[in-house]
């Protein structure tokens, strides 16, 4: 990867552009290599005249060494340990190389030209390949407030396949009158921020580095929150601490979620209330939450003493883990702990562990199962597990017309395999009652539209004992 830094003569403040060499403490006529753990950085000057002087930092990454270093490449362009863009695109590796090669210049000190180090000079920076997460405009948003003119030209993904459009890389050129130390610190912080990945584990001492490098420009930067969050690898805790250090006044505003409560309870809260009411009406004490997801309903059930045994079941070990943390499973007192169990299951399989319960809930679950596999789900739930009661909720697709943001024919969630009309849901429910000896009551949850019904439909199945 490559970065060039060009100083242009200014009769007033920079009569000789090669003074750049003094500021960088690198002689324009020498080629200086620096060894780094994953490659070699070389500093040299492709041009050096009183008119223009360009320093180049060329970083050659050894992909094998990098693979062995096992960096963290969250979101980086890494297909496997051998094939990735790290040798080419500017990243935290380049920032590290900057730090290694231009240490005193980054500090803003110069033995030979102390005055020059303190003033803004005409500079141009070019980073020929920079991964710019969020698009070229993010580079503009980050550099413009710092006094740079920004040209970020997208690089095509493959010019022989024009239909594929642009890659996420840009050829970045910054021009402006900026103090050299500031320019280097801008690059040191913002190159990894634009790339949005780090080659090392982000620890709390990273805050120190950020505050030091951001001195004098970061606290007032309009995009400081984005910068800090990305720089600290999206760690919420680190981000909060860094922001409070940078600008104590706006630290409390950390939740950026734009959602505004409109005063009315949200549909998912209404849905849980309705499901709990249906469940309570059955008198069930030992209950299954099938497809429990991150455990919102399990937590509700746990708060209600009438439920003596609660089983949250889901197919995804990842969400079960989230559910376990939500209900603080490993910190529950013994008596509480004995009431709840989380287990991995799949609702298209017969699971003997789910037999013998009073009731089961399938809240917003069936629509995540491919429609042709619903008979298997029915067999597993109604035929095999066979609880005394089953509460099923699912979206009412008719109501989708009320959601303006939803495209025609679109589903409410990208994983929904289908969404049913009221008639379709009723037909499915009636099929269940016939095949498995249950009776059913259908109702709805949420605001009722006279034509379209409620956003969520609910079925309460009760097992018939003597059929």
Site for other proteins in 7-46 (CB under 8 A): 29-31, 42, 44-46
- Exactly one of 100, 141, 326, 368 binds other proteins (CB under 8 A); that residue is 368
| Binding-site size, other proteins (CB under 8 A) | 73
291 binds other proteins (CB under 8 A): no
User: For residues 52 and 177, which CB has a smaller minimum distance to other proteins in the complex?
Assistant: 52
Angle at 90 between CA 84 and CA 92, to 5 degrees: 90
Rounded to the nearest whole angstrom, what is the least distance from the CB of residue 315 to other proteins in the complex?
5
From 19, 85, 196, 223, residue interacting with other proteins (rule: CB under 8 A)? 85
Piece in contact with other proteins (CB under 8 A), picked from 1-9, 105-113, 250-258, 330-338: 1-9
135 binds other proteins (CB under 8 A): no
Residue numbers 90-129 binding other proteins by CB under 8 A: 126, 128-129
Nearer residue to other proteins within complex by CB, 138 or 342:
342
For residue 43, the Cα-to-chain-centroid distance in whole angstroms is 36
- Using CB under 8 A as the binding rule, whether residue 292 contacts other proteins is answered as no
* 357: contact with other proteins by CB under 8 A: no
Q: Residue 386 has which token pair?
A: 């066979």
| Residue 29 CB coordination number (10 Å) | 10
Based on the shown chain and the rule CB under 8 A, indicate whether residue 383 belongs to the binding site for other proteins. Answer: yes
Beta bridge partners of residue 392, listed in sequence order: 362, 459
Residue choice 144, 171, 447, 449 for contact with other proteins (CB under 8 A): 171
- 326-355: which residues touch other proteins (CB under 8 A)? 342-352
- When the beta carbons of 356 and 375 are compared against other proteins, the nearer one is 375
Q: Is residue 63 within 8 Å of 86, Cβ to Cβ?
A: yes
* Of 109, 167, 235, 433, the one binding other proteins by CB under 8 A: 167
82 binding other proteins? (CB under 8 A): yes
**Which of 50, 64, 338, 401: binder of other proteins (CB under 8 A)?**
64
Choose, by CB under 8 A, the member of 372, 407, 409, 450 that binds other proteins.
Answer: 372
Q: Token pair of 348, please?
A: 């298209």
In the complex, minimum distance from the CB of residue 443 to other proteins, in angstroms, rounded to a whole number = 28
Distant-in-sequence, close-in-space partners of 317: CB < 8 Å, separation ≥ 6: 344
Candidates 11, 70, 79, 205; binder of other proteins (CB under 8 A) is 79
Q: Which residue has the tokens 């969250």?
A: 74
Cα-Cα-Cα-Cα dihedral sign, residues 8, 11, 17, 19: negative
Cβ 30 to other proteins shortest distance, Å? 8
Contact between 362 and other proteins per CB under 8 A: no
Structure-token pair, residue 334: 């013994």
Contacts of 64 (CB under 8 A, 6+ apart): none
Rounded Cα distance between 370 and 148, Å, is 53
318 binds other proteins (CB under 8 A): yes
Query: Using an 8 Å Cβ cutoff, are 456 and 422 in contact?
Result: no
Q: Which of residues 406-435 bind other proteins (CB under 8 A)?
A: none
Cβ-contact 366, 336 below 8 angstroms = no
Strand bridging mode 456-463 / 389-395: antiparallel
CB of 271 to other proteins, least distance (A): 22
Residue 155 found at the interface with other proteins (CB under 8 A): yes
Q: Which span (161-169, 213-221, 280-288, 332-340) binds other proteins, by CB under 8 A? A: 161-169
Altogether, the residues listed in the chain come to a count of 467
Tokens of 339: 């009431």
Alpha-carbon 281 to chain mean position: 41
The DSSP code for 264 is S
Q: With binding defined as CB under 8 A, does residue 299 bind other proteins?
A: no
Q: How far apart are CA 189 and CA 194, in angstroms?
A: 9
Query: In the complex with other proteins, which residue's Cβ is closer, 213 or 313?
Result: 313
Which tokens sit at 369?
Answer: 């199962």
- Which position has the token pair 């959601």? 403
């Amino acid at each position: 990867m490559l970065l060039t830094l060009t100083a242009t003569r200014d009769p007033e403040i920079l009569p000789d552009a090669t003074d750049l060499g003094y500021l960088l403490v690198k002689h324009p006529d020498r080629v200086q290599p620096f060894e780094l753990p994953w490659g070699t950085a070389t500093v040299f000057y492709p041009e050096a005249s009183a008119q223009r002087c360009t320093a180049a930092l060329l970083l050659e990454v050894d992909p094998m060494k990098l693979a062995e270093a096992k960096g963290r490449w969250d979101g980086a362009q890494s297909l496997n340990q051998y094939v990735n863009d790290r040798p080419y695109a500017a990243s935290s590796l380049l920032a590290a190389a900057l730090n290694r090669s231009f240490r005193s210049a980054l500090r803003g000190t110069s033995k030979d030209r102390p005055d020059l180090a303190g003033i803004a000079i005409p500079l141009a920076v070019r980073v020929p390949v920079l991964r710019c997460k969020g698009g070229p405009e993010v580079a503009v948003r980050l550099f413009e407030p710092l006094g740079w003119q920004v040209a970020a030209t997208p690089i095509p993904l493959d010019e022989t396949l024009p239909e594929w459009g642009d890659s996420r890389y840009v050829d970045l050129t910054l021009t402006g009158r900026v103090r050299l130390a500031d320019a280097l610190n801008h690059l040191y912080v913002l190159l990894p921020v634009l790339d949005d990945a780090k080659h090392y584990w982000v620890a709390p001492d990273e805050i120190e580095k950020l505050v030091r490098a951001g001195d004098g420009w970061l606290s007032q930067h309009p995009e400081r929150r984005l910068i800090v969050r990305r720089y600290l690898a999206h760690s919420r805790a680190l981000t909060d601490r860094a922001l409070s250090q940078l600008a104590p006044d706006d630290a409390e505003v950390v939740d950026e979620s734009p959602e505004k409560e409109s005063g009315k309870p949200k549909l998912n809260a209404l849905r849980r209330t309705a499901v709990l009411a249906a469940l309570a009406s059955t008198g069930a004490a030992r209950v299954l939450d099938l497809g429990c997801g991150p455990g919102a309903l399990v937590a509700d059930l746990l708060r209600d003493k009438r439920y003596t045994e609660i089983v949250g079941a889901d197919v995804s070990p990842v969400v079960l883990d989230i559910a376990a943390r939500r209900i603080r499973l490993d910190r529950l007192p013994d008596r509480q702990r004995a009431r709840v169990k989380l287990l991995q299951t799949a609702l298209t399989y017969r699971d003997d562990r789910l037999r013998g319960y009073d009731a089961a809930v399938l809240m917003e679950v069936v629509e995540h199962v491919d429609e042709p596999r619903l008979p298997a789900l029915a067999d597993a739930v109604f035929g095999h597990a066979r609880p005394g009661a089953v509460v099923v909720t699912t979206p009412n697709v008719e109501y989708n017309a009320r959601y303006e943001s939803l495209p025609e024919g679109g589903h409410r969630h990208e994983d929904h395999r289908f969404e049913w009309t009221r008639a379709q849901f009723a037909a499915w429910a009636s099929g269940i009652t016939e095949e498995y000896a249950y009776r059913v009551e259908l109702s709805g949850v949420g605001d009722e539209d006279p034509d379209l019904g409620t956003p969520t439909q609910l079925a309460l199945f009760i097992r018939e004992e003597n059929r």
